[in-house]
Each structure stands twice: as structure tokens, then as C-alpha cells.
Amino acid sequence: MIIVHHLNNSRSQRILWMLEELDMTYEIRFYKRDPKTMLAPREMRQVHPLGKSPILEDTDGPGGMGVTLVETGAICEYLVDKAGGRLGPPPSGEGHLLYRQFMHYAEGSLMPPLFAKLVVSRVPFLGKKAAQRIQPMVDVHLEFVERELSRRPWFAGGEMTAADIMMSFPLEAARSRAGLGESRPATIGWLERIRARPAYQTALSKGGEYAYAKARGKA
């Protein structure tokens, strides 16, 4: 049995989407952010010491052993393996390398400046000016992504993979509050394609509050 410990408005929405794409049976345990701090509740530390979302439990892991995993990328790779390679990398060539690149790029390079902008924008008085200084760093990434998606429909080539699922959260966050708008049509088109997928819509209906799915963009 797969259990997703799911925090509202968080990276764990990607895991629900991936499970729906793979047509896997799973259970959701819901958690709410603290309305003042926006942090995950302490109850999540009872599941994993980091107390961060997503957390995936699988009572039927390798060799019949139970496993508990954190980190979205690691969870996605685990699910690819469990599904016999579905949504995994193309077997060889450029697509295989692109898949590996974007699986890591999403959290390793793209999310840090987006997260920094989110944090400083909440600081009274000086926050807006600090956010303006971070925006050029974000723009470098958005231009890179736009160039990549102008060459092919999905991040690893002609078919959707787990790399697209990994890239969804940072790009939806950028659409919401970091300058991703109509001037980057290839990226906007990609967002429209993922949001139109039945599995994405089902994951939204099951996961509850996820403001980024409604985002239409603001700097």
C-alpha cells in the first residue's frame, strides 16, 4: 500500500499527479500548513524526522519490506522503477541525458531563486526591493526553459516523462509570482498541456488546496 503524506500547496502535489499517471492505488494523509508561518505541522515529524512534504510510504517495497522516502526526485525515481520504467527516461541518446538533467535541475537550480524571491517578498519594507534584485536570476532560468521547450514538446523529447512532473512545481510557482507570462509562449503552452491531462486533473481533485494550478502570472 502506498501512502502519500500530503501538505497543501506543496511539492507533494507532483507525487499525486505521478501516481495518477501510473494508475497506482494510493492513500492520502492530509496535513495543513500553519496559517501564520506557512510551515508544515509538527505531526509530520512523527512520520519522518525532517517533517517535510512529500513523504511516501510503501508497505510493499523491494523484497516485501516497507520503505519511507522523502525528496520528490527520489520518490519519482522510485515510482518509475516500481512501474517497470513507465514515465522513465528514453532508452538512450539525447532524451536520456535530458531526462537526467531536468530531474535534477528542477530542485537543484530552478527552485532556489524562486524560493528566495518568495521568502524575501514577505519581508516588510525592504522585501520588494530585494525581490526585484532576485528577479534577473529567475529570468535567466525562465529564458533557458523557454529555449528548451521551443525545441520539443516535453523536457526529455516527444513524450511526457517524470522530468515534466518534476518541472511542474517550479514553473507553476514562477507563473504565479515570478514573471512567467505570455512572453514565453512555449513554456505557457507546456503548462497548458500538463493541466489538460486527465491524471493531473484527478490529482487536483483528490489533493485539495493547490493555488498554483490556478495561477495566471504576476511578477
pLDDT for 38 equals: 81
pLDDT for 122 equals: 72
pLDDT tens digits, one per residue of 94-142 = 999 999 999 999 999 999 999 898 888 777 766 777 888 899 999 999 9
pLDDT for 177 equals: 83
Q: Where are the domains of the chain?
A: 2-82, 93-207
C-alpha cell at 202: 484527478
pLDDT for 216 equals: 53
Q: What is the mean pLDDT of residues 146-154?
A: 98
Residue range 2-82 in CATH 3.30.460.20: no
pLDDT for 125 equals: 66
* Residues 138/174, Cβ–Cβ less than 8 Å: yes
Task: Say whether pLDDT at 54 is over 90.
Answer: yes
Domains 2-82 and 93-207 share a fold: no
Q: Which CATH number fits domain 93-207: 1.10.8.870, 1.20.1050.10, 3.40.630.10, 2.60.420.10?
A: 1.20.1050.10
4: Cβ–Cβ under 8 A, 6 or more apart, which residues? 12, 15, 16, 19, 26, 27, 28, 29, 54, 55, 56
pLDDT for 69 equals: 97
122: Cβ–Cβ under 8 A, 6 or more apart, which residues? none
pLDDT for 217 equals: 47
Report the mean per-residue pLDDT for the chain: 92
Q: What is the mean pLDDT of residues 150-171?
A: 97
More confident residue, 120 or 13: 13
Phi, psi of 136 (to 5 degrees): -60, -30
What's the Cα-to-Cα distance from 81 to each of 77, 167, 169, rounded to whole Å? 6, 19, 22
Task: Say whether pLDDT at 57 is over 90.
Answer: yes
The DSSP symbol for 211 reads: G
* pTM, to two decimals: 0.93
